[in-house]
Amino acid sequence: MPAASTTLRMLAVSVIASLTVTGCQTLDDAGRAIGRSDLVNDLAARLDRALELTYSADYQLPGGQTATITQAQDPARSAYTWPGGRLTVTPEATTRCETAASRASCTLEAPPAPNAKPTVTMFTEAKQRGLLTPPVVVGLLTGAALDPDAVITQSDTTVAGRHATCVDVEQAGGAFTACVTTEGALGSFTGQIDGKQVELALSRYRETVDGTAFDLPPDAGVVDRRPARS
């Protein structure tokens, strides 16, 4: 097994406690009865609430590659960087960049509507390049909660020094393991997405952002497709 893949699995499976949730209910640490849907919906809600946080998260991908998710508020901005590409969302524009060539090329499109949450389709390119973003994971967790035949195992672990709750989902649509930190950041993910194995693990988390995180790459070629302003 490649060393990078082994490292990712160690980060995702460093479990300190676990329990299994099937169609019945179980008890959490406080003795409260929780159901299978409660468990995954709680993690999905945690990821969703994290869209309102300011943070920077670095991820390790297979083959020694890396990715980054950066968010800031007032105004709400986000940047997603993966091998060969980048997506930046600000009140001014939705910007997609190809960065594999010696000179980056970027396309500016209209920004999302005010207060609108990012959609899964925005992250198609990131998903294809190995960066599974929180909105995509929210969709997977929601699907698992609605699947009566899914077998879900809960565990707790530590990723990049942060406590995380994990779910191991076995279902007809494909098995996966997802971990979410207490803050709501994606801690790790391992599973099949669109027939492709995807693995990533949080390597560094900061509650601050670089002031240039949302800027265009230096000397990038830019195509502006935003509607003309009156």
Looking at residue 24, which CATH number applies to its domain?
2.50.20.10
Tell me the C-alpha to C-alpha distance, in Å, between residue 167 and each of 111, 190, 224. Answer: 34, 11, 42
Domain that holds residue 74: 3-224
How many structural domains comprise the chain? 1
| Cα 44 to Cα 112: distance, rounded to the nearest angstrom | 22
Q: Is the pLDDT of residue 30 over 60?
A: no
Q: Is the pLDDT of residue 6 over 80?
A: no
What pLDDT is attached to residue 230?
Answer: 59
229 in a structural domain = no
Q: Is the pLDDT of residue 1 over 60?
A: no
pLDDT per residue over 58-92, tens digit each?
999 999 999 999 999 999 999 999 999 999 999 99
What pLDDT is attached to residue 26?
Answer: 37
Assign 15 a pLDDT band (cuts: 50, 70, 90): very low
pLDDT per residue over 164-194, tens digit each?
999 999 998 889 999 999 999 999 999 988 8
Residue type, 201: A
Structure tokens at 123: 């992250």
Q: Is the pLDDT of residue 51 over 60?
A: yes
Assign 22 a pLDDT band (cuts: 50, 70, 90): very low
78 in a structural domain = yes
Cα–Cα–Cα angle for 28, 161, 177, rounded to 5 degrees: 55
| Cα 100 to Cα 102: distance, rounded to the nearest angstrom | 7
230 in a structural domain = no
Question: How confident is the model over 26-53, as a mean pLDDT?
Answer: 70
When the pLDDT of each residue in the chain is averaged and rounded to a whole number, the result is 84
What pLDDT is attached to residue 25?
Answer: 37
Q: Is the pLDDT of residue 219 over 70?
A: yes
Contact 57, 202 (CB under 8 A): yes
Among residues 24, 47, 9, the alpha carbon closest in space to that of 136 is found at: 47
Higher pLDDT, 133 or 3: 133
What pLDDT is attached to residue 35?
Answer: 56
State the SS3 of the chain: CCHHHHHHHHHHCCEEEEEEECCCCEECCCCCEECHHHHHHHHHHHHHHHHHCCEEEEEECHHHCEEEEEEECCCCEEEEEECCEEEEECCCCEEEEECCCCCCEEEEECCCCCCCCCCHHHHHHHHHCCCCCHHHHHHHHHHHHHCCCCEEEEEEEEECCEEEEEEEEECCCCCEEEEEECCCCEEEEEEEECCEEEEEEEEEEECCCCCCCCCCCCCCEEEECCCCCC
